[in-house]
Structure 1
Amino acid sequence: MWIERKALAAEIPAAAALDTRQLCELLASLGFPIDGVASREGGDVLDVDITANRGDAMSHRGMAREVAAKLGQPLAPLAPPPVAEGAPRVPVRLESPACPLYATALLSLGSGGTPAGAQAFLRALEASAKGLPAVDASNELLLRYGHPTHAFDADRIRGGVTVRWAVTGEKLVTLDGVTRTLASQDLVIADEAGPIALAGVMGGDGTKVTEATRRVLLESAWFDPKTVRATARRHSLHTDASHRFGRGADPAMAAVARDLLVDRLRSWAGATLEGAWTAGSRPAAPARVTLTGDLLTRVAGEPLTLGEAAEALGRLGCTVAAGSDALTVQPPTWRHDLAIPEDLAEEVLRLRGYERIPSVLPPLEGPPQRLSPDYRHRQALARRLAHLGFHQTVTYGFISPEADAAFAAPDNAPQGRTLVNPLGQEYSVLRGTLLASLKAAAEQNLRQGAREVRLFEVAPTYASGTKGPAERFTLGLAWGGTLGGEDYLSPARPVREADLSGIALDLGLAALPQVRTLGEGLFGFEIPVTDLPQAGERIIPAFRPFSRFPSVERDLSLLVGLGQSYEALAGAMRAALPAEVLQDLRCVDVFRHKSLPEGRQAWLMRLRFQADRTLVGAEVDGWMASALAAAEALGAKLRA
């Protein structure tokens, strides 16, 4: 947001003593960094970065409050000439709780125009003057004081004014010339003929102020922030008014802004006030918040007194009642972001100065925790699939209802996983499946010319439940394209379902999962991670130092049956020998000939022994006898 230095100094005179660089550093220290400085209309304007939760700071008055709190200096008084209220000249009915307060006035315009100073102020902030005093004054007040107002052509309003919910299908042509079809969730300002404005967002073209306007009906209201945000998003209509109402306007400013607008029109356009009145009342004040000394110290990381906190919060406009060990704080009407004790503690530290927060590492308590078995299982699974040539991908946890319905289980209804306030229709459902996202990623790669695509993802999916969505980690896998074809020894062929079945077997699944066709030549499956077997023990043995003593090798030539299992024979022989000295046992030769007994073959088994001492022949002979006995127990005989 652009802030003009001269206008800021009019709100906080102490700011006039600061040069532009000092003012930029001061605002940055308060959490409002400056994105740039420009020279317009003979003065400097600052491009201030304001976070979304600080709608109160989106004006010169709001920024002046911050500067005044930091400097400990007073603001210029804001006291417009009082407007005497009387009986309504135009009936106003409030039919929705989303608008509890509506201040208005009816004026007859004179012949004056927008002053040159006001036009220069608007140009400096990139808001061109329209040459219509009612419109320019509303825009000027918005930028100075942050409360949106609106002026209707009173002679084009039919009957009274009602703030109500729209009827589904109603039409409204807004000031940008677009015909909008309204929904029942839209809050509108309406007369007897229908909607004349989207409340808190934009006025209607049918009642706009023009050069022919002779009487204006002013609007200065307070609208529910959630309603305004939803309406602006629904119609893709983001205006200066919706940005401020959507972040929470100050209800106490509604009547004040109306009075300021009346004063502007009287002085600029020679307007005559026909009547002023207010419908409804202010919404409830923000709840009191209790700040304890212990919490303040914990957030600050060092001891801070409640007296210092009370003084800082008082400068921010809070009403503070001090107790023996806590402060009871009533936030001002313009600070909707102060709702919990931590908010107050952070405000104390912000006003005190971020540079005073000690730069120390927090104390470490105990050794690092071991990685959970579930996490280690997922990591082992990802490594195994990477070894098999698959690429791990990360996709969004939100998908569209259509994509979810294509692959989610029939009993996993999307209603229990639908977001209340989504970024858009395509991100409105917590995913119940990984296959929809993997399909989109794989098809994108194939369109870009990839011959083969192997993708997998290990991520949460969600199931609808009575207590909200239930999360579980799922493995999703997609494989498609062409295998082989690099040379004549490996002819090209498309990926088949059986290829994925082989992957499932490699992962240790007892039963094959359902392989889904994701597209032409593209297949996939998904399965809960808990259904996959845990990773086994490490296959790389622990290192054992090499012995400095010589090894001893002996051979056994055995006659074994043609159907003898090598694994069974070798295992029996190993079991009969001391593991600490047996270095190796293997078959080094197989001999089959008609000279051997019928149904027999000869295996030459070589055994190697080594220990951390010199071996003697007698003990090696004993080990060989044990190995032979184990082999003979399986039907083998020593070959003569």
Structure 2
Amino acid sequence: MWIERKALAQEIPAAAALETRQLSELLASLGFPVDGIASREGGDVLDVDITANRGDAMSHRGMAREVAARLRQSLTPIAMPTLAEGKPVVEVRLESPACPIYSTAVLELGPGTTPADIQSFLLALEATPKRLPAVDASNELLHRHGHPTHAFDADRIRGAVSVRWAKAGETLVTLDGVERKLVEQDLVIADEAGPIALAGVMGGDGTKVTEATTRVLLESAWFDPKPVKAAARRHSLHTDASHRFGRGADPHMAVVARNLLVGRLQAWCQAPLVGAWTAGTAPAGAAPVPLTGTLLARIAGEPLSLADAAEALRWLGCAADLDGGTLQITPPSWRHDLAIPEDLAEEVLRLRGYEHIPSALPSLEGPPEPLAPAYLQRQRLARRLAQLGFHQTVTYGFISPEVDAAFAAPGNGAEGRTLVNSLGQEYSVMRGSLLPSLQATANQNLRQGAREVRLFELAPVYGSGPAGPVEQFMLGVAWGGTLGGEDHLSPARAVREADLSGIARDLGWEGLPPLRALGEGLFGFEVPVESLPREGARIIPAFRPFSRFPLVERDLSLLVDLGQSHEALTVAMRAVLPKDTLQDLRCVDVFRHKSLPEGRQAWLMRMRFQADRTLVGEEVDGWVAAALAAAESLGARLRA
């Protein structure tokens, strides 16, 4: 946001004594870094970075309050006319709780134009003056005091004015000349003919002020931030007004801003006041927030005086009362971000100066804790898939309701995963599956000419639970495109489902994975990470000393079926052999010949035994007999 030095000095005269560099350093120490300095209209203008939770600072008056609190200097009082409110000239109906107060006035415009110093002020802030006093005065007040106002051509308004929710099918041509299709969640200003403005965002083209306007109806209201932000995103209308209302304006400025706007029009173009009135009342202020010395000391890292804390907060506009050992702090109407004791403690430290916060190293309680097994498992899976030629992706955790409905598991409705204040319709649901993002990424790569795409993602998905979204880590894999074709030894072919099944088996999945066709020649699957086998914590096996006693070998020549599983046979034989003595068991030779019985083959199974003593023949023969019996239980028999 641009802040003009001359205008800031008008709000707090003490700022005029500071050089531009000193002022920039002071603002940075308050948490408002200056990103740049420009020279416009004969003076310096500062580009100040303001965080989203500090809508109160998005004006010269708001920034002056911060400087005044640090310098312990008073602000210049706001000079405004006192208006005697009377009978409404135009009926105003507040039909939505999102607008509790609407202050307005009707004036007849006389001859006059925007003063040169106001035009210079707007140009310095990169706001083009319209040379229409009602419009320029509204823009000047927004930048100077931070409260958006609006002027309607009163003669174009039909009947009463109401603040209500839009009706299905209504449209509005906004000041930018674009026709907007309204939805029932849009808060609008309407007359008896239909909407004339999108509340808190932008006025309508049909009632805009022009050179031919002779009477104006002024609007100075307060709107709930949530519908304003939602409408701005929904219609892609991010205006100066929506930025301020969306971050929380001061409801008690509605009447003040109306009076200031009337005063400017009366001074600039001798505009007679037809009438001024206010519908509704400003919402009640925030309840007192307790601040104890214990909490203040814990956050500060050292004991601080509650009296000093109260003085600092009073300079910010708070009301502070000491009740025993607790400060009862009532934030001002413009500081909606001060809601909990920690907020107040941070404000005390900010005004005291971050450089006064003592440095302290965290206590070291012992060696680092081992990494969580679940994390090590995800790391191992990612490394294995990378070895297999797959690329890891990181995609958004939010998707549209339409895409979610196509991929979410049965029973996992979007009701418990829908965001109340989303970035947009396409990011309004916490995803229930990784496959939509993998599909979109794979298709984009294939459209760009990639012959083959191998992707995977290890990330959480969400289920709808009674207490809210339930998180679960999933592995999603997608494979598509064309394999081979680089030379005559590897003919080209499309990726098949069987290729992806092999990847799942390689990762330890038992049986067929839940494969899904994601498009022509593109397949994917998604499985819970916890259902895949975990690797042992010890990668290097424990060392076993070599025995000094001789090794004993025994062979069994077995006739087995052609379809016999080697793994099943070895598992059965190992189960009956002593684990501490058996060194090795394997098939060392396979013999197939017509001389053997039909459907049979010969396997030579070799067993090696060793112990920390000399083995005797009788016990080894007993082990071999037990192994033969185990093999015979699977249909094998000793070859003659």
TM-score over 0.5 for the alignment? yes
Distance of 2:132 and 2:493 partners within structure 1: 74
Distance change in 2, residues 1:261/1:561 (3 Å)? closer
Match of 2:322 in 1: 322
Equivalent position of 1:270 in the other structure:
270
CA distance in 1, matches of 2:603, 2:355: 84
Q: How many Å separate the matches in 2 of 1:557 and 1:331?
A: 88
Which runs of no fewer than 5 residues in structure 1 stay unpaired?
612-618
The CA deviation string for residues 343-399 of structure 1, in whole angstroms up to 9 with x for no partner, is: 111111111111222232222445544444433443344344344443332222111
CA distance in structure 2 between the partners assigned to 1:538 and 1:308 by the alignment: 58
Change (3 A) 1:400 1:189: closer
Alignment of 1:342-421 (within 5 A): 342-365=342-365, 367-421=367-421
Q: Is 1:630 matched up with 2:623?
A: yes
Matches within 5 A, 1:158-557: 158-365=158-365, 367-536=367-536, 538=538, 540-543=540-543, 556=553
Quote the Cα distance in structure 2 between the aligned partners of 1:407 and 1:170: 34
Aligned mates of 1:157, 1:557 — CA distance in 2: 105
In the TM superposition, residue 601 of structure 1 has moved relative to its aligned partner by: 8.5
Query: TM-score by structure 1 length?
Result: 0.88
Superposition deviation, residue 453 in structure 1:
2.6
Correspondence 1:560 to 2:557: yes
CA-to-partner distance for each residue in 1:87-136, whole Å, 9 max, x for gaps?
A: 22222222221211122222222222221111111111111221111111
The whole-number CA distance in structure 2 between the counterparts of 1:326 and 1:492 is 78
| Counterpart Cα distance in 1 of 2:333 and 2:486 | 72
SS of residue in 1 equivalent to 2:445: helix
Counterparts in 2 of 1:314 and 1:575: CA distance versus 1, 3 Å: same
Structure 2 residue identity aligned to 1:472: Q
Asked whether the equivalents of residues 590 and 601 of structure 2 are also in contact (C-alpha less than 8 Å), the reply is no
| Paired residue secondary structure (1:542) | coil
Partner SS for 2:52? coil
Instruction: Give the alignment partner of residue 578 of structure 2, picking from 571, 575, 580.
Output: 575
Moved more, 367-376 or 94-103: 367-376
The equivalent of 1:615 in structure 2 is: none
Q: How far has the Cα of 1:487 moved from its partner?
A: 4.7
1:26 to partner: Cα distance: 0.3
**Cα shift readout 1:306-337 (whole Å, capped 9, x = no counterpart):** 12211111110000111222111110011111
CA shift at 1:17, angstroms?
0.6
Native 8 Å contact 2:167 2:182 kept in 1: yes
SS at match of 1:464: strand
Amino acid at match of 1:85: E
| Contact 2:390 2:455 (8 Å CA) reproduced | yes
For 2:495, the aligned partner's letter is: V
1:592–1:602 CA contact under 8 A, matched in 2: no
How far 1:466 moved relative to its partner? 3.1
2:597 corresponds to:
none
Write the distance in 1 (CA, Å) between the matches of 2:95 and 2:554: 102
Moved more, 467-476 or 503-512: 503-512
Cα deviations across residues 208-239 of structure 1 (Å, max 9, x unaligned)? 22222222222211111112212222221121
Aligned-pair identity (%): 70
CA positional deviation for 1:9: 0.6
CA contact (8 A) 2:591 2:601 kept: no
In the alignment, what sits opposite 1:67?
A: 67
SS of residue matched to 1:246: helix
Deviation at 1:604, TM superposition (A): 10
**Alignment-mate amino acid for residue 575 of structure 1:** P
State how many pairs are aligned: 623
Q: TM-score, normalization: structure 2? A: 0.88
Given that 1:576 and 1:626 are in contact with CA atoms closer than 8 Å, whether structure 2 keeps it comes out as no
Amino acid at match of 1:560: S
The answer on whether the counterparts of 1:173 and 1:206 sit within 8 Å (CA) in structure 2 is yes
Aligned to 2:57: 57
- 1:595-610 correspondence to structure 2 within 5 Å: none
**Would you say the 8 A contact 1:99–1:224 is kept in 2?**
yes
5+ residue gaps, structure 2, are 595-599, 630-640
Amino acid at match of 1:214: T
Deviation at 1:32, TM superposition (A): 0.6
